[in-house]
Homo-oligomer: A and B are copies of this chain.
């Protein structure tokens, strides 16, 4: 599973991990605090955080005995660009989508996602 797209999509495939990402939108959080709302063990949440970190979706920084988790929204870019190749969904927030797409254009866009099967 070296492909970064593999990692990002499969990280996003778990609802617990998506919930964690949504929580981190508000603020950086310590591992224990991330785990608090969930009914699973701390170790399980810690593993989820590792998966997110390896996908690049978060970073973790240890200060003292506390490890702080920080969202890294840029990691979603490649995946988002890939998906954009599949049709022009009218987004809910058109202005937001326009800004979003404009930002994406600075990237080496996948000119024709179908031409190369290099997924």
Contact = CB atoms under 8 A, between A and B. Distances in A.
A3 interface: yes
Interface residues of A, number: 60
How many copies the complex holds: the figure is 2
Nearest to A87: B73
A25 interface: yes
A19 B89 contact: no
A89 B76 contact: yes
A22 to B, nearest CB: 4
A23 interface: yes
B13 A13 contact: yes
A23 B117 contact: yes
Given A10-B10, A71-B86, A114 B38 contact: yes
A12 interface: yes
A25 B40 CA distance: 41
A24 B115 CA distance: 11
Interface in A84-119: 84-94, 96-101, 103-104, 109-115, 117-119
